[in-house]
Structure 1
Amino acid sequence: MPPILYSPLRRCESRLIHLHPGQWPDPVSFTLYTFSLQPPELPFFEAVSYTWGDQIMAPVICSGMTTQVTKSVETLLRRFRLIADTRLLWVDALCINQDDIQERTDQVQAMDLIYQRASRVLIYLGEADDYSDSAMDAIAERKTSTGSIQKKVLDFFEHRSWFSRVWVLQEVALADCALAICGSKCVPWANFPAWWAQNAAYLQDRIPPSILAYNPAMKKSFLQQLHDTRVSRATDPRDKVYALAGILSPEDRFVLAPDYRKSVAEIYAEVAAKIIKHQSSLRILSATQPFPGEQCPKFDGTSGSWVPNWSKESLLTSLGLSNLYLEPYDAGGSIALTKFETREEMDFLHIKCYGITLDVIQETGSVCPIEAPGESIAKVLNEWNDLISLPEDECFKLTSRLGKGIFFVGEQFFLVDPASDVLWPTIRAQPSTTLELTPDELAKREACPVTIDGLKFCLGRRFLMTKSGLPGLAPPLAIPGDIIAILLGAPVPHVLRKKDSYYTLVGECYVNGVMNGEALAHLSKEIALQVPGHRVRPFQKSKSTAPLEWFLIE
């Protein structure tokens, strides 16, 4: 069957589907027309938000000629078709010439205008199954759901792939009016986040889909949104970046022009460099998480270890990016000093970061399992407890060997007799205290049991001990001999591995007692001269005597 013939588009133009009327069994027929996105000439049209689905094809009639489209597109056109009237729809798979890279790039840049200026956005969640009608009815009522009804709604969110797409954030956030359709059921979109909010107290530790948790009132940075949507999916990995362009705050729209001629590695590296320059911060390094079977957290061998791979979900809870509701870390102070380098012998962009070598890893424990029974986690934590040794520095001395063990009882973890002032804060990755506590208050806090959520930062990580006796949490790929660096502008320390004349970034880490800038106190005057505006919390005594140096990271 012949493909759809597209005529070129001019600036501020797109195409609309004029969907011809018909009964449900009739063949789907439509015509494509060009239209202007400028308000005076804007017709009443509806933009469709949907999932592309599998590449199973089905026949349709476009301008009198039979052609092939994906089954999901054919089905949604059949569902939205009116019996007696023409309907104007915008569906990206048909309204954009997907084979024309330049047009695709231009239309993605205009996507925010299309969804903003659509009269309505129709969210197509697919056709009905045995449980979807009950789920849609419960969501429509916005009431507390229990038992089998709650399970049906949760299964509905989990198994309908639309909820895991990254593009839907922009498509729904920009809509003036959005309706969700599943089979013959139609529910205003506002009911969906309202249902979750109504039932939140009964959903325990369940994490809502990104689209239900998205709150435009919370002005999150581009970096934070990239991190928050890491679990969302995109057919093209480049869209993990481009799909967020339309919902960024004005100060974050720094030359993010979609360009599908570039590779995924090029785009991710370019975005990472721009975020670092724009924010004068190395917080983005906390997004470079390791993946199974990889030596280092790079993703395709054509980009540096410092570049996050947004196309993969992170295995670990990020120390530098996931502590929005906790006391913040500030190990490296406020402003980064960086340089970017490309040499003939380099295959990709390298970054030079200014900071200090805090210490060297001397010993590591087993990796704490991410998804395991509490008893298995407690077993690893007890192994970590045995690794604690008495450091020479007075500020880290313990009055006695750490307790009798860690036990998992009634969904809680207990450290028994006595409570440790090092192990317990370390496995919970606690920042340096903001308030001075009395001995009784400190003992009470450290003796409190901890739930699995309180241990989220140690799950998937190793316990580490440095040569000078500092305990901490290391990425799973860390090994003895790796160095721990505190880089200016990075909220947490990072593990680096020496390789010839440069370093590979192994991942972020936690080191007890240096998370608020304690290791930079001896360099405050020197840093102020070299990095104007740099701020770090003042301390009477520094936890380090290391000099500033450059780290070239591949």
Structure 2
Amino acid sequence: MSQGTNPSQQDETQVLGQLFAGLLTGQSSCPVHEECDSGCSSRIGVRRYRLMPNGERQEEGDERARLAANTTKNAVPERTQPLVIGDNVPIFQHSPLTRPGSQIRLLKVKRGFLRADPVDCELIHFDINNAPPYGALSYCWGPPPDNIKFLCNGSVFYGRASLERSLKRLRAGFRPGQREDYIWADAICINQQDLVEKDAQIRLMEHIYSGAATVYVDLGDVEGQTVSVGGAALRFPAMGGMGVQDALTHSDDLEHPLHYLTAFQALTQPWFTRTWIIQELTLAKNVKYMFGGNVFTQKHLDSMLSKESIVSHPERQRKLMSSNAVMRGYMNCQKLQRIKSQTGKMDSLELIQLTRDFGVTNAEDKIFGLFALLSDADREAIGPYSRATEQVYRRFAALQVRRGRTIRMLDSARLQRRHGEVKNLPSWVPDWTAQGKSPKVISTLRPTPYSASGAAQAQIQFIGDMTGSGGISVRCLAMDTIETVAHVHTAPLLPSGQPDFLVFHDKFRAAFDELIRQRKSVYRNNEEAFARALLMDDMYTGRNAIMHSSPITDPAATYRSALTAWRERRSEGGLGGRKMDAVQTYQMQARTAAVGRGFATTGSGYIGLMPPCAQVGDLIIVILGATVPYVVRKAQDGYVLVGDAFVYGLMYGEALQRKLQPVDIVLV
């Protein structure tokens, strides 16, 4: 720990020490034996107690003595070396499921003596409707290779280190009778090399996870992580395994700092960012989390993260808003709760857009990782499991067109959201691996939607077959062309880690001033037009107001004050749960709206914020039924969708007032 901490930092460091004391004593405290009688020299002496907010210790006891009293006399085996799987042991082969659409395999994990003992298990076939009570394991697969040896039915199964860690935590963390005898773990219970079986089992996952008596979520541990507090830094070693439940579930005092700090630390774990866990958690009827020696329930986690709990504790708001990793986990938890509380099944497009920031290793799993939450009709339309990502994404996009969701889908499509990994996608088909990229989706940027096409209804048709092999035809109003566009693709980072907004502003302002110099602007009040364009016309009034913001009642004056604050490098505020004034609100919104976009002027004298790949000569259109304009580019067989746009003066139905004749264009 570094030196020179001030009193307030020492206070917080003490709180962190209390937090991770729970993690350290949550083990069985013996790094060698999984079931130790406290008699061996490796056992760490532990005194356990409830630390109250006033510093008083309650229910203090000698953990070592308690374990010794509750363990049989000869619990520590005489064997001192871990078991080794010999090179002559045959390789495990999955026995085929005779009915893969109605059968599952379940694991029976044998108890371990030493922590280093390999996982030894039996794999047994069951009809899913007649299976014994079982638990299901949810964890992060992590990267290959599959080079860890497991014993499975007496043969060697090669799996990943993440599976071994998860099964060992499950093996050590619960004594006989504390969990189900059988466990379902996808990496070993599904023959991953048999795509026909894998497709059938993926379609069974709704039944598997909803039918499990408990879903055990392995969040991993804090090995190697560093927590900084002012001038102090805490780095945590490997924890050595699981043990009995610690003070996290022992205490019922929700004011105890251990609770919310442990929950916040858990939120930073990779598990909360993965697509496959969405269905695993939201279908579960009973959840137990394993984290760094702790075992806690979904109910306990929810009590820490409820809106009421966060709002009523300012220190929790400050802690939450001071860490991007914690905030990301918190927001993902809110999404999971929304899905879980849904009456009936969420439509497939809403579901994938809501979870677009969750990651996958294989691109096709952005679709198949949500299969258990889709309707039977949608699963049928998407077709069998396949690693041909382009085909999977095209089938999913065609499904959305048939369901009447084309306009909403286009928010996730276009050139500005493309990854190099997924090639040959039509521009109207979303690349679901690239949805976390900047910039923000304009149509959902604020609570009150824009209305660029007024009350006009969408008119969409397939070209070619019902998968849109020749593209899709959209009826639209061709509004204008881009005459100039100023892009900022990189900007220096400030100490806050944010890109320097002045780099964006100065380049955008120069382009706007040139438009005025040429007397091409269509606006009566140019300063107000520019000020509102940087905000995408969101001034945080009425329904668009949010917690901690202030209304921007005079955009031009607030813009000038914000510009002065930027140039003087004054803090933008908005952190730690403090209320922002109008200038800070302006700065926050301008950064959200403008960073990552280009600034364009049009042939008719409009200004707007454009996709980062927009070019001079691109066409600005308003698709009937859409809330925002789009930029398209002429191609050989039609038009390529470049992306969504904000054009000041064309966001509230003004296009319909110009009496333009609608045209049909083909997006390819």
TM-score range, shorter chain: 0.7 to 0.9
Q: 1:367 aligns to what?
A: 488
CA shift at 1:152, angstroms?
7.5
Q: 1:409 aligns to what?
A: none
* Structure 2 counterpart SS, 1:190: helix
In the alignment, is residue 549 of structure 1 matched against residue 666 of structure 2? no
Q: 2:618 aligns to what?
A: 482
| CA distance, structure 1, for counterparts of residue 463 and residue 96 of structure 2 | 43
Residue 475 of structure 2 contacts residue 664 of structure 2 at CA under 8 Å; is this kept in 1? yes
Q: Deviations over 1:52-83 (max 9, x none)?
A: 12324222221122332222222322222366
**Structure 1 unaligned runs (5+)?**
403-419, 436-440, 521-541
Rate the CA distance shift 1:77–1:319 in 2: closer, same or farther, 3 A.
closer
In the alignment, is residue 383 of structure 1 matched against residue 507 of structure 2? yes
| CA distance, structure 2, for counterparts of residue 328 and residue 424 of structure 1 | 20
More off after superposition, 101-110 vs 229-238: 229-238
Read off the aligned partner of 1:37 and give its amino acid letter: I
Q: Deviations over 1:414-433 (max 9, x none)?
A: xxxxxx32112211112799
In the alignment, is residue 99 of structure 1 matched against residue 168 of structure 2? no
**Equivalent residues in 2 for 1:25-44 (5 A)?**
25=115, 26-38=117-129, 41-44=130-133
In the alignment, is residue 463 of structure 1 matched against residue 599 of structure 2? yes
| CA distance, structure 2, for counterparts of residue 149 and residue 434 of structure 1 | 37
**Equivalent residues in 2 for 1:53-452 (5 A)?**
53-56=142-145, 57-81=147-171, 87-127=181-221, 129=223, 130=236, 156-158=266-268, 160-197=269-306, 198-199=309-310, 201-202=317-318, 203-204=320-321, 206=324, 207-209=327-329, 211-214=332-335, 215-216=338-339, 217=341, 221-248=347-374, 253=378, 255-257=380-382, 259-261=384-386, 263-288=388-413, 290=415, 300-320=422-442, 322-323=444-445, 325-332=446-453, 333=455, 335-342=457-464, 349-367=470-488, 372-373=493-494, 376-388=500-512, 389-390=515-516, 396-399=522-525, 402=526, 420-430=527-537, 444=554, 446-448=556-558, 449=583, 450-452=586-588
CA shift at 1:364, angstroms?
1.1
Read off the aligned partner of 2:662 and give its amino acid letter: L
Residue 355 of structure 1 contacts residue 485 of structure 1 at CA under 8 Å; is this kept in 2? yes
Q: Deviations over 1:177-208 (max 9, x none)?
A: 10001243211133334434444622227443
Q: Deviations over 1:403-455 (max 9, x none)?
A: xxxxxxxxxxxxxxxxx3211221111279999xxxxx985355342132453
Residue 331 of structure 1 contacts residue 490 of structure 1 at CA under 8 Å; is this kept in 2? yes
CA shift at 1:465, angstroms?
0.9
| CA distance, structure 2, for counterparts of residue 176 and residue 114 of structure 1 | 11
| CA distance, structure 2, for counterparts of residue 119 and residue 84 of structure 1 | 16
Rate the CA distance shift 1:162–1:349 in 2: closer, same or farther, 3 A.
farther
* Structure 2 counterpart SS, 1:473: strand
| CA distance, structure 2, for counterparts of residue 77 and residue 484 of structure 1 | 55
CA RMSD of aligned residues (A): 3.6
CA shift at 1:502, angstroms?
1.4
Read off the aligned partner of 1:382 and give its amino acid letter: D
Read off the aligned partner of 1:50 and give its amino acid letter: Y
Structure with larger Rg: 2
CA shift at 1:356, angstroms?
1.5
| CA distance, structure 1, for counterparts of residue 541 and residue 648 of structure 2 | 14
More off after superposition, 347-356 vs 388-397: 388-397
CA shift at 1:257, angstroms?
4.7
Residue 246 of structure 2 contacts residue 293 of structure 2 at CA under 8 Å; is this kept in 1? no
| CA distance, structure 2, for counterparts of residue 3 and residue 429 of structure 1 | 59
* Structure 2 counterpart SS, 1:490: coil
Q: 1:412 aligns to what?
A: none
Q: 1:537 aligns to what?
A: none
Read off the aligned partner of 2:108 and give its amino acid letter: H
Residue 622 of structure 2 contacts residue 628 of structure 2 at CA under 8 Å; is this kept in 1? yes
Read off the aligned partner of 2:661 and give its amino acid letter: P
CA shift at 1:113, angstroms?
1.0
| CA distance, structure 2, for counterparts of residue 453 and residue 132 of structure 1 | 42
| CA distance, structure 2, for counterparts of residue 251 and residue 259 of structure 1 | 12
| CA distance, structure 2, for counterparts of residue 494 and residue 452 of structure 1 | 25
Q: Deviations over 1:192-231 (max 9, x none)?
A: 3443444462222744325412223367643233223222
Read off the aligned partner of 1:121 and give its amino acid letter: V
* Structure 2 counterpart SS, 1:181: strand
Residue 209 of structure 2 contacts residue 280 of structure 2 at CA under 8 Å; is this kept in 1? yes
Aligned length: 495
Q: 1:50 aligns to what?
A: 139
Q: 1:534 aligns to what?
A: none
| CA distance, structure 1, for counterparts of residue 660 and residue 556 of structure 2 | 31
| CA distance, structure 1, for counterparts of residue 431 and residue 108 of structure 2 | 40
| CA distance, structure 1, for counterparts of residue 491 and residue 627 of structure 2 | 24
| CA distance, structure 1, for counterparts of residue 537 and residue 288 of structure 2 | 44
Rate the CA distance shift 1:289–1:552 in 2: closer, same or farther, 3 A.
closer
* Structure 1 counterpart SS, 2:191: coil
Rate the CA distance shift 1:444–1:261 in 2: closer, same or farther, 3 A.
closer
- Structure 1-normalised TM-score? 0.79
- Structure 2-normalised TM-score? 0.66
Residue 297 of structure 1 contacts residue 506 of structure 1 at CA under 8 Å; is this kept in 2? no
